[in-house]
Amino acid sequence: MSNPFKNKQVLNFHHADFDGAISGSCVSATLNNNSKSKAFSIGKVGDAVLENINNTDIILLTDISIYGEYLEKVSKEINENKLIIYDHHINQQTLETFSKFNAKSDSVLDKDVCGATIAWYKLMEHFPNNSKLQDLETIVYLSDVYDMWRLDNEDFEYAASINDLLDYKIGYTPDAFRERFLKNPDPFNLSYEEKMIIERKKIRHEKSLKQMENEAMLFDFKNHTFVLVEADVTDYTKMHFMNQVLVEEFVDMFIFKYTGTTQCSVRVPSTSKIVDLNDWFDEFGCIGHARAGGIGQKEFYKLQHILDSI
Ligand SMILES: [Mn+2]
């Protein structure tokens, strides 16, 4: 396949998480002075694409996509490789739309690997001798292990500690994170400050786990077992809390309530009798994917009502 980036000016918008920022490192490493990268949230990138589509030769979206009307408006540009998308966030509309693009379109959607992995492989295809891109292979791998939540992978914990460096308060912003690994792609070569950030996160994680353990409430309802706990913690801490509880108790659903609101996130462990948390919408207000979702502020009264009665 011919290289669509040859002698082109490229504007790269990437997702603002670990995976997304590293996908941006791959673009900067490969296209050097011919590209500019910027981190975006999914909610904001659609407008940015429409605003900039005529200001550059190519817009390259990595680990991020556009949906709905935004996507409909740029079908022509995707076919002509004026807009190229390497992403793993997929829905029914994107699947259908992408299946209609011609064979020359360089865009790739793949839900089985992370965005940085797709970007890395596609750019390697176009620039097979780029050593800066080759140097990013390990950090791309770690971003995949973390972003795809590959819990059985022996490097998951290390990948999670690298993710700890990405933090608007004590760490790198997504743009700074991208540049950091572009400059020093070795994820095992961390500075003293970086190690300290990871240590501070670890302390916070352990403290949260202890506190959650003390405050968690276990209750039975309709032949199922639930755990409700108040927690403003990362997904990583939630996962460790669930594993810890599941060693001793059988639990069908974990409900994590954010402090000071009635908003909750909900997780259904793989060992649960519950197949889809949406089946508990009437009782608890649960909504989302089958095993990970939430309870909206306005729905919380349902759960509250049940809690008051037990
Ligand atoms: Mn991703």
Ligand 1 centre and the CA of 63: distance in Å?
Answer: 5
Ligand 1 centre and the CA of 224: distance in Å?
Answer: 33
Closest by CA position to 158, among listed 136, 143, 179: 143
Ligand 1 centre and the CA of 69: distance in Å?
Answer: 22
Kindly write down the DSSP assignment for every residue of 194-238, as one continuous string. Answer: HHHHHHHHHHHHHHHHHHHHHH-EEEEETTEEEEEEE----HHHH
Ligand 1 centre and the CA of 147: distance in Å?
Answer: 6
Closest by CA position to 114, among listed 62, 59, 55: 62
Once rounded to an integer, what is the mean pLDDT over residues 102-124?
95
CA 226 to CA 62: how far, in whole Å?
A: 38
Q: Angle at the Cα of 197 (from 191 to 200), degrees rounded to 5? A: 140
- Element at 254 (helix H, strand E): strand 253-257
By the 8 A CB rule, do 99 and 80 touch? no
Confidence class for position 1, pLDDT limits 50, 70, 90: low
CA 283 to CA 296: how far, in whole Å?
A: 13
Instruction: Assess whether pLDDT exceeds 90 at residue 103.
Output: no
Per-residue pLDDT of 61-88, as tens digits, reads 999 999 999 999 999 999 999 999 999 9
Per-residue pLDDT of 43-52, as tens digits, reads 999 999 999 9
Confidence class for position 18, pLDDT limits 50, 70, 90: very high
CA 86 to CA 77: how far, in whole Å?
A: 15
Ligand 1 centre and the CA of 96: distance in Å?
Answer: 20
Ligand 1 centre and the CA of 80: distance in Å?
Answer: 25
Residue 211: predicted pLDDT: 96
Q: Which residues pair with 60 in a beta bridge?
A: 12, 84
Ligand 1 centre and the CA of 175: distance in Å?
Answer: 15
Confidence class for position 222, pLDDT limits 50, 70, 90: very high
Instruction: Assess whether pLDDT exceeds 90 at residue 23.
Output: yes
Per-residue pLDDT of 132-169, as tens digits, reads 999 999 999 999 999 999 999 999 999 999 999 999 99
Ligand 1 centre and the CA of 111: distance in Å?
Answer: 9
Once rounded to an integer, what is the mean pLDDT over residues 101-117?
94
By the 8 A CB rule, do 23 and 30 touch? no
Helix (H, G, I), strand (E, B) or coil at 274: coil
Per-residue pLDDT of 158-215, as tens digits, reads 999 999 999 999 999 999 999 999 999 999 999 999 999 999 999 999 999 999 999 9
Closest by CA position to 268, among listed 40, 143, 284, 308: 284
Ligand 1 centre and the CA of 174: distance in Å?
Answer: 13
Closest by CA position to 215, among listed 245, 239, 235: 245
Residue 279: predicted pLDDT: 96
Percent of the chain scoring above 70 in pLDDT? 100
Residue 58: predicted pLDDT: 98
Ligand 1 centre and the CA of 306: distance in Å?
Answer: 37
Ligand 1 centre and the CA of 20: distance in Å?
Answer: 6
CA 145 to CA 82: how far, in whole Å?
A: 31
Q: Which residues pair with 229 in a beta bridge?
A: 256
Once rounded to an integer, what is the mean pLDDT over residues 223-248?
95
Instruction: Assess whether pLDDT exceeds 70 at residue 41.
Output: yes
Ligand 1 centre and the CA of 176: distance in Å?
Answer: 17
Ligand 1 centre and the CA of 248: distance in Å?
Answer: 33
Q: What is the mean pLDDT of the chain?
A: 95
What the block records as the tokens of 141 is 């791998």
- Rg of the chain over Cα atoms, rounded to whole angstroms, equals 22
Ligand 1 centre and the CA of 88: distance in Å?
Answer: 7
